[in-house]
Structure 1
Amino acid sequence: MLDAALKTQLQAYFARIVTPITLRASLDDSEKSTELAELLQEVASVSDNISYVRSDDDSRRPSFAIERQGADIGLRFAAIPGGHEFNSFVLALLHVGGHPPKEDEETLARIKALDGEYRFETYFSLTCQNCPEVVQALDTMAALNPRVRHVAIDGGLFPKEVEERGIMAVPAVYLNGEPFQHGRATLEQILDKLDAGAGAGEKKAASISAKEPFDVLVVGGGPAGAAAAIYAARKGVRTGIVAERFGGQVQDTAGIENFISVPHTEGPQMAAALERHVAEYSVDVMNGQIASALVPAAEAGGLAELKLANGASLKSKTIILAPGARWRRINVPGETEYMTKGVAYCPHCDGPLFKGKRVAVIGGGNSGVEAAIDLAGLASHVTLLEFDAKLRADGILQEKLRSLPNVTILVSAQTTEILGDGAKVTGLVYRDRESEATRTVELEGVFVQIGLLPNTEWLNGAVTLSQYKEIEIDRRCHTSAPGVFAAGDATTVPYKQIVIAMGEGATAALSAFDHLVRM
C-alpha cells in the first residue's frame, strides 16, 4: 500500500518519535479489516518505535488505537486513514510518540488544563477538505490530555451509525454522545467553545487588545491576505494578520490546476503552504479571530481601529482588507432549516454521505456542473437545476455532464423551496420559468453551487461597497478610506482567482508601505 518513496518520507518523519508506540487493531473478517491490517503492518515496519498488535477489544471494527507505553491516551481511528486523513494519521503517530505539536505554548497550556471528561467522536469522509483540521485538532488534544478521548470515524465505513445519528454533513463532532460541532473549526475555536463561561475568552480578548499598534494589519488569511502579510513583513514594518482560519476559501477547494508553476495541488496543501510561508517572517498571526467592525483613522496620520467579535480591538497605521468570500445561499424556505440535514455546499466533503441516494445540484456554472459530475459517481441520480435558459459552464464540462446516464438537467428552473420531514431533506420544489408550472423533485440531498458572496457585511459605512457588496478599490488597491487598502475576492477586481488574489495582496502591501513612507 505504501510505495518506496512514501516509506522513505515516513522514515524521516518517524525519526522524530521519541517514545515507542503501539497500533492496536480491532478487526473482523471483512475486506476493509484486511486492508487496514496491511496498512498498519506496513507503517509499523518503517520504524522500530512503532509496533502492531491485534486485540479485537473495540466494538467498532475495523478500527485501531494509537497507544504510548506507560501513558493513558485515548486516540482511535475507526477508519482506513487515506486521502486527506493520511496526514492526520501521521501527525497522530508523531504526537503520541512524543514529538511536540506546532501550536504555541498558550494553546498547549489550555489543552493540558482542561478538566472533566471529554469523549469526542468525529465523523468524516476521506474526500472532505475541512475534516482534517478538526480531526487533527481533537487528536492533538487527546495526545496531550488523558481526560480527552477522540475517535475519528469514517462515515463510509460505518453507514449505520451515520444513519442512526442523522448525519448528512461532515465533519460532525459529538461530545459525550451529544452534538458538539458541525462543519470546520480550528483548535482555538474548539477550545473557546469548551472554555465558554470560564473566562478564557475574556483573557484572550484582553491579551489581543494589549498589543502595540501595527504598521500594517491584514484582515484575512487567504491567498490575498497571506501575500499582503509577506510583502509587508519583508519591508521590515510591524505586521499583524487576523484570520478566522488560515487559508480561507482555499481550504474548501479540491484540485487546483491553474496556479502557475504548480501543475496540481490540493486546497488544504496550499493553505498549509501559505501558513508556513507567513511563519518564516516576523508576522503576528492571530488565528481564529473574526473581525466585526472597522473604524478608519479620524485624521491623516492617525490610527485605524479593528474591532473583533470577541470584544478585542487592534490599532494600526494602515489596514489591508482581504476577508474573502463564502458560498452564496439561495435563500428559500427550508434551506436554513435543513442545513447539515441534506442541504450542503461542499460536494467533496459531503458527497460520500449520499452514496446511492438521489441528490440535486443548484447552479449551472463550472462549480455546479463539476459538482454534478462528481456526485454522479456516488449518487443513484443527480438533478441539476439552472435558473438561466442554458448552462453557463465550460463546453467540455457540459459535454461530460450530458454523457452521464444518471443525470437530469433542468434549465429555466427556479428553486422555490426545500422540503423535509423535520429531520432530513425529502425533496425540492422548483418553478419552470417557461411554463410557470410548479414541480416537485423527490430526493435526499441538495448541493448549492451558485457562486460566492463577499464577507463584507461588517464594513458597511467604513469603506465604499459596490452594489454587489464588494469593496471598491482603485488599481493600487486603495479604498475610499485613507490608509485602508483591500485585495482578493471581496473587492471589485474581476476574475476571482487564487493567482490574481495573491498579486492584489502584494499590490495592497506595497501601497500600504508607500502610504507609511509618506505619512
Structure 2
Amino acid sequence: MPLLDDAIREEVRTMLTGLTEPVHVVVFTQPFQCQYCAETRQLVEEVAALSDKITVEVHDLSQDGERATALGVDKAPAIVPMRSDGTDYGVRFFGIPSGYEFGSLLDAILTVSAGRVDLMPETRAFLEALPEPLHLQVFVTPTCPYCPRAVMLAHHLAVASPKVRADMVESLEFPELADRYHVYGVPRTVIDEAGQYFIEGAAPEWMLVARIQEAVGMPITASADAHHRH
C-alpha cells in the first residue's frame, strides 16, 4: 500500500520539476531492531519514482559496513541524499522523515540538486572561517511543526560548507541517543559531540551561528542586528 496518496504525489511531482542536477539517495536499513526501516525505504522509493532525476541505492547496515562507514552512517534507518556525481554535502536523516519532516526530505533533495543555499553573507563568512569540522544533530519528532525549520537550516549550513555535517535524528526511534543529549523538547540542535552546546526551538539563522561560534571558540559576531539588515 502506498505511503503517499495521489494528491501528495502530484504535489511532490510538481516540486521535483525544480531539480537541476541529478540526485542519488542512499538508504540504509537493517532487518532487526528497526521499526521504520521498510517504510523509510518505501518512502524514498515512492519519491524517487516521481522524478527521472532521482536514483536510489539501498544497503543493509549489518551487511554493507564499508559503505556505511564511508558515509558516516552508524544507525538505521538512514537516508543520505547526494549528487549523482558522488558529491556528498553532509546531509543526513536518521529515522523516517514522516509527518512534518517529509518537507525536510523534499527540501534536502532540492537543495542537494541545486548545490547552493540562500544564507546571510555573515553566515557564509563564518562558515569559511570555521576552524574545525562541525557535526550538527537536530533532534525532532514527526508531529513537531517547528522542527523542519531547524532541520532545513542545519542542512543548508552543511550544503554551504564542506566542514559541516548535519543530521536529522528522529528522537522516538533513537531514544538512547535522545537520552544522551537530554532531549526533552524538540527541536533540539546539538552542536558538539559532548552535548555541552545546543539550542532549543526553531532558532533563526543568526542565533544558531552565534551558538556555534561560542561552541568552537570563535568571536561571536552573529547578532539580530545583522539579521535584520537583510
TM-score between both structures, scaled by the size of structure 2: 0.80
Do the aligned residues in 2 keep the contact of 1:111 with 1:191 (CA within 8 Å)? no
Compute the displacement of 1:199 (Å).
4.8
Partner Cα separation in structure 1 for residue 208 and residue 149 of structure 2: 11
Compute the displacement of 1:103 (Å).
3.5
Amino acid at match of 2:4: L
Do the aligned residues in 1 keep the contact of 2:153 with 2:205 (CA within 8 Å)? yes
Q: What percentage of aligned pairs have identical amino acids?
A: 23
Query: Is structure 2 residue 48 aligned with structure 1 residue 44?
Result: yes
Do the aligned residues in 2 keep the contact of 1:27 with 1:61 (CA within 8 Å)? yes
1:98 aligned partner:
114
Amino acid at match of 1:41: E
Do the aligned residues in 2 keep the contact of 1:172 with 1:181 (CA within 8 Å)? yes
Compute the displacement of 1:31 (Å).
4.6
- Could you tell me which runs of 5 or more consecutive residues in structure 1 were left unpaired when the two chains were aligned: 209-241, 243-284, 288-519
2:200 aligned partner:
183
Do the aligned residues in 2 keep the contact of 1:18 with 1:99 (CA within 8 Å)? no
2:137 aligned partner:
121
Do the aligned residues in 2 keep the contact of 1:16 with 1:99 (CA within 8 Å)? no
Q: Tell me the number of residue pairs that the alignment of Structure 1 and Structure 2 aligns.
A: 210
Compute the displacement of 1:99 (Å).
5.8
Query: Is structure 2 residue 219 aligned with structure 1 residue 193?
Result: no
1:28 aligned partner:
30
Do the aligned residues in 1 keep the contact of 2:36 with 2:95 (CA within 8 Å)? no
Partner Cα separation in structure 2 for residue 104 and residue 165 of structure 1: 29
Do the aligned residues in 2 keep the contact of 1:134 with 1:187 (CA within 8 Å)? no
2:77 aligned partner:
62
The DSSP-based 3-state class of the residue aligned with 2:76 is coil
1:66-85 to 2 correspondences below 5 Å: 66-68=81-83, 69-85=85-101
For the pair shown, which has the larger CA radius of gyration, 1 or 2?
1
Structure number with the bigger relative contact order (C-alpha 8 A, sep ≥ 6) is 2
CA RMSD of aligned residues (A): 2.5
- Could you tell me which runs of 5 or more consecutive residues in structure 2 were left unpaired when the two chains were aligned: 62-67
Q: 1:93 to 1:109 in 2, by over 3 A?
A: farther
1:124-163 to 2 correspondences below 5 Å: 124-163=140-179
Partner Cα separation in structure 2 for residue 17 and residue 110 of structure 1: 28
Amino acid at match of 2:76: R
Partner Cα separation in structure 2 for residue 10 and residue 113 of structure 1: 37
Do the aligned residues in 2 keep the contact of 1:17 with 1:99 (CA within 8 Å)? no
Q: 1:10 to 1:106 in 2, by over 3 A?
A: farther
Compute the displacement of 1:189 (Å).
1.1
Do the aligned residues in 2 keep the contact of 1:130 with 1:183 (CA within 8 Å)? no
The DSSP-based 3-state class of the residue aligned with 1:157 is coil
Partner Cα separation in structure 2 for residue 115 and residue 2 of structure 1: 43
Partner Cα separation in structure 1 for residue 103 and residue 209 of structure 2: 22
Partner Cα separation in structure 1 for residue 47 and residue 129 of structure 2: 32
2:182 aligned partner:
166
